[in-house]
Amino acid sequence: MLKFYHAPFSRSFGVFWLLAELGIEYEMVEVDIHGDHGAPEQFRQIQPSKKVPAIDHNGSLITERAAITIYLAEAFPQTGLAPAIGDPDRAKFLTWNVYCDSVFDPVLCARAHDLVYRNMDYPFGLFDDMVDNVERHLEQNEFAAGSRFTAADTHLGSSILYTMDMMKLLPERPAFRDYANRMAAREAYQATSQRDYGMAIKLPHFQKQFGSGQAG
């Protein structure tokens, strides 16, 4: 049995999308992360920082998006969404899953909060270096792991689409736009986006935003 802890319009969207790509059955547990103190305190038993996503697969609890993405793709190998050991694309698959969590996301959070720092101050490095690195990679590769779609694309793709189109933090460069368009054209992405939006508009937090025209 697979249980998926999710909050709409959050970093767990990539895993939500991945589950659609995998086409597997699961139970979703919605987590309200928009209360006065974030998610309910008891959720710390699942995720120590009260963040989403998290999954429970047959009693094994997995947190952190990169770990969840790799775990799910390898737990269901029939889908072909994880290059096997020995596959030339596996190095990129692992690298870009981890890069999204360890560099891409922290750098953009720092930029969103106007954090000024030197390259050596934090392990995730500088904003411009991250942007240039992602651009170079997508100019040379159609997908995150090379020439074919993998679970790494649900991670990188959701991150680029959200930070470029919604947050307006990632600059819109041709390589980013072309990649984002390929991701957004996927049937599983479109279906998941519709489901996620339907969940979000039921929550008071997003009803206020939608009413004020700040999201949609």
CATH number at residue 11: 3.40.30.10
The least confident of 32-36, 73-77, 117-121, 139-143 is 32-36
- The total of structural domains in the chain comes to 2
**What is the extent of the structural domain holding 33?**
2-79+195-212
Say if residue 104 is in the same domain as residue 170.
yes
Same domain, 177 and 128: yes
pLDDT above 50 for 214: no
Residues 75 and 128 in one domain: no
Query: Which CATH number fits the domain that encloses residue 117?
Result: 1.20.1050.10
pTM of the predicted structure, to 2 decimals:
0.94
**65 domain-assigned:** yes
* Domain-embedded: residue 85: no
Q: For residue range 5-42, what is the model confidence (pLDDT) as tens digits?
A: 999 999 999 999 999 999 999 999 999 998 888 999 99
Which position has the token pair 């989403």?
Answer: 52
Q: How far is CA 140 from CA 83, 135, 207, in A?
A: 19, 9, 41
Query: Are residue 114 and residue 61 in the same domain, yes or no?
Result: no
179-192 pLDDT, tens digit each: 999 999 999 999 99
The reported pLDDT for the residue numbered 211 is 66
